[in-house]
């Protein structure tokens, strides 16, 4: 165990006093309406943050939860910028975009705090994975409360960390309450360290109010993690003096007698120990507390003087800046073509991307064996299972791992084998990946591609046949692409992989094995660029994914009737190439929008609204929408065939628009 000398002891004491006085001042500022939002204070738990973070380096990743002030300050975040963030000022850690529950200081290794209980746990695994693949002895540490342990993604994450032997240390601050509920009311397992026992995780429970006990326990675990012996869990039994949030009357808790708190208070206990050890006297203690108080008051002055963010700041921080589209012409291939399938183009494009970028990893269920449709077949043989990584059936955890890995320098391509199952990963995708860049004030980017398969037609029933792209397009920070043909797959997948933002790459299963003629050399396809599939002057048909082929079939039938339809494939839903659609509608004066998803609330409604706003004066007829009925996808072949829209429905909609 590393021996604690006077210098390090003073460092611990300074950190604890800084956290204590900072949070007490924040409580005052909250009551004065100078600090905003939900504020969760950790008064009484300072010893854990100080003992843990004092032993970490800046290149070690730390993740926190909604009670993040202490962890942030202990990891080295400037106190004045933390307070400015809580006041919503532009000089805050995240420019005022994150607030108390979403603190990030990437420079010092604080990779994010989250307001979703336990939502930070899978992210830490991603940073640990990046650390292991990068070599060296970096570790990831994640703080959470005992309430997070009952969440499904916690157990998924512990299992995954143990399975992969990741250098991650779970630090549970067990204060006995999950929000307003005592531990005895939400679990029969008294100790968190017992929860992880079946996974074979090295674990220990210590007195969290004893900073030396926490320091010594964490030191053992840190040495083991740096030596590749993770994961590990340190449970710190603590007592929090405040309620769950500032303003919480805390009637559900018994008041702690003043004399009892004198014995439990981690600062007072450590001060008494230091006096006995000869580290300091009363005068030195007064000086340490005074320095912390002065630092906090200077932070208050700094934060008050900091300007509010400009009103347009939010719009500029939805997406990290993407690289300029590659305007170079494709390499000469003699203008030839070849026969292939959509599925083969995915495999080929992934292999090419992995050869070009050693930071690219493929993650997902059974991907090393090729996945359910063989999209990743052969990749493990060429690149090894360190880069083509099989996972348990744990969508929440594996999506969080991919997000954390992307934030930490890797470029993950995650496969969620059916879009129906992406619902299980929505917390990580929607609350973490999509918001990381904005909430961190631009500190974090998430270069993540989520490949998933949607659509019906294969008799998969209602839980394997949905088209849920509209859900995803409603989330700022995500990009959504839907290639409709093999020729677009390489270009779109390359653009998605090179993008610094999370991109959901939706493939339609019925297109996988269709043979197509494609150019010998793949063409670049920038994200946000539509394709005019068929030119026409009488009606515009915008179709998504599989429906593009149906739209062409409908257009051919219309041509036999003397109607020339223009068919547009957006290829990307977010960002949408609205200019291309509007330009077409201004010529044809009519619009039909078609997709396989349920018509009600589908993405076609967004296209219709956007075109209506941009080209209303050019429309000679109401916009027609084609989609599935408002019902789950049926299983019976006859019922499913009747349910799914196709060329007949598009043809009929075009005739209505022309009537």
- Give the active site residues: 395, 464
For residue 203, which of 194, 214, 212 has the smallest C-alpha distance?
194
Q: Give CA separation, 249 vs 34, 45, 217, 245, 472, in Å.
A: 20, 19, 34, 9, 39
Q: In what order do the strands lie in the sheet with 232-237?
A: 110-113, 61-64, 140-145, 168-174, 232-237, 202-207
In whole angstroms, what is the distance from residue 180 CA to residue 296 CA?
29
Pairing verdict, β 624-628 and 591-598: parallel
In whole angstroms, what is the distance from residue 524 CA to residue 492 CA?
7
Which distant-in-sequence residues (6+ apart) come within 8 Å of 198 by Cβ?
none
Which residues is 181 bridged to in the sheet?
A: 178
Angle between helices 46-53 and 266-277 (to 10 degrees): 60
Termini Cα distance of the chain: 84
Q: If you search the block for the tokens 């994200």, which residue do you land on?
A: 527
Which residues is 449 bridged to in the sheet?
A: 413, 503
* Max Cα distance, the chain (Å): 98
DSSP 262-331: HHH-HHHHHHHHHHHHTS--HHHHHHHHHHHHHHHHHHHHHHHHSPPPPTTHHHHTSSPPPPPP--SPPP
Query: Own/partner pairs for 468-472, CB < 8 Å, 24+ apart?
Result: 468/419, 468/420, 468/422, 468/423, 468/597, 469/419, 469/504, 469/506, 469/544, 469/573, 469/595, 469/597, 469/603, 470/597, 470/601, 470/602, 470/603, 470/606, 472/422, 472/504, 472/506, 472/574
Which residues is 105 bridged to in the sheet?
A: 110
For residue 398, which of 373, 368, 427 has the smallest C-alpha distance?
427
* Contact status, residue 74 vs residue 54, Cβ threshold 8 Å: yes
Residue 474's SS3 state is coil
């Amino acid at each position: 165990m590393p021996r604690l000398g006077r210098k390090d002891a003073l460092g611990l004491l300074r950190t604890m006093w800084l956290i204590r006085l900072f949070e007490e001042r924040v409580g005052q500022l909250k009551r004065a309406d100078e600090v905003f939002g939900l504020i969760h204070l950790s008064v009484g738990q300072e010893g854990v943050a100080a003992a843990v973070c004092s032993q970490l380096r800046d290149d070690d990743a730390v993740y926190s939860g909604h009670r993040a002030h202490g962890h942030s300050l202990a990891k080295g975040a400037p106190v004045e910028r933390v307070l400015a963030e809580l006041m919503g000022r532009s000089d805050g850690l995240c420019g005022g975009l994150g607030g108390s529950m979403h603190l990030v200081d990437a420079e010092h290794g604080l990779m994010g705090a989250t307001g979703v209980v336990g939502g930070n746990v899978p992210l830490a695994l991603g940073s640990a994975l990046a650390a292991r693949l990068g070599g060296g002895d970096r570790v990831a540490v994640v703080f959470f409360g005992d309430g997070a342990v009952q969440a499904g993604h916690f157990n998924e994450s512990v299992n995954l960390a143990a399975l992969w032997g990741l250098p991650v240390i779970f630090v549970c601050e067990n204060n006995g309450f999950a929000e307003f509920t005592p531990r005895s009311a939400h679990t029969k397992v008294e100790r968190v360290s017992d929860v992880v026992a079946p996974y074979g995780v090295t674990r220990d429970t210590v007195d969290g109010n004893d900073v030396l006990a926490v320091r010594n326990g964490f030191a053992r675990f840190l040495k083991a993690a740096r030596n590749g012996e993770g994961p590990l869990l340190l449970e710190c039994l603590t007592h929090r003096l405040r309620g769950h949030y500032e303003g919480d009357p805390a009637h559900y808790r018994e008041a702690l007698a003043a004399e009892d708190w004198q014995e439990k208070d981690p600062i007072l206990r450590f001060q008494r120990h230091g006096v006995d050890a000869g580290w300091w006297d009363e005068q030195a203690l007064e000086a340490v507390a005074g320095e912390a108080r002065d630092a906090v008051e200077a932070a208050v002055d700094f934060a008050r003087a900091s300007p509010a963010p400009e009103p347009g700041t939010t719009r500029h921080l939805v997406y990290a800046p993407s690289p300029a589209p590659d305007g170079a012409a494709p390499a000469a291939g003699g203008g030839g073509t070849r026969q292939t399938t959509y599925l083969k183009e995915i495999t080929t494009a992934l292999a090419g991307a992995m050869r070009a970028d050693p930071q690219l990893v493929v993650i997902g269920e059974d991907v090393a064996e090729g996945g359910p449709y063989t999209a990743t077949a052969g990749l493990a043989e060429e690149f090894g299972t360190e880069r083509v990584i099989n996972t348990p059936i744990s969508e929440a955890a594996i999506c969080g791992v991919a997000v954390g890995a992307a934030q930490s320098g890797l470029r993950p391509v995650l496969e969620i084998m059916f879009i129906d199952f992406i619902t299980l990963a929505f917390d990580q995708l929607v609350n973490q990946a999509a918001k990381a860049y904005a909430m961190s004030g631009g500190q974090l980017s998430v270069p993540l591609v989520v490949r998933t398969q949607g659509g019906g037609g294969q008799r998969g029933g209602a839980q394997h046949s949905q088209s849920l792209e509209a859900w995803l397009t409603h989330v700022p920070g995500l990009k959504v692409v839907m290639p409709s043909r093999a020729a677009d797959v390489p270009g779109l997948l390359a653009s998605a992989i090179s993008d610094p933002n999370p991109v959901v790459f939706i493939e339609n299963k019925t297109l996988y094995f269709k043979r197509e003629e494609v150019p010998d050399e793949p063409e670049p396809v920038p994200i946000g660029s539509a394709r005019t599939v068929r030119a026409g002057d009488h009606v515009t048909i915008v179709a998504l994914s599989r429906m593009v082929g149906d739209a062409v079939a409908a257009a051919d039938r219309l041509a036999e009737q003397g109607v020339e339809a223009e068919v547009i494939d957006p290829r990307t839903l977010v960002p949408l190439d609205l200019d291309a659609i509007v330009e077409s509608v201004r010529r044809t004066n009519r619009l039909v929008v078609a997709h396989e998803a349920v018509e009600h609330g589908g993405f076609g409604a967004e296209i219709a609204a956007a075109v209506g706003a941009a080209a209303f004066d050019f429309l000679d007829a109401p916009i027609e929408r084609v989609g599935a009925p408002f019902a789950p996808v049926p299983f019976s072949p006859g019922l499913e065939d009747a349910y799914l829209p196709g060329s007949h429905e598009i043809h009929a909609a075009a005739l209505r628009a022309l009537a």
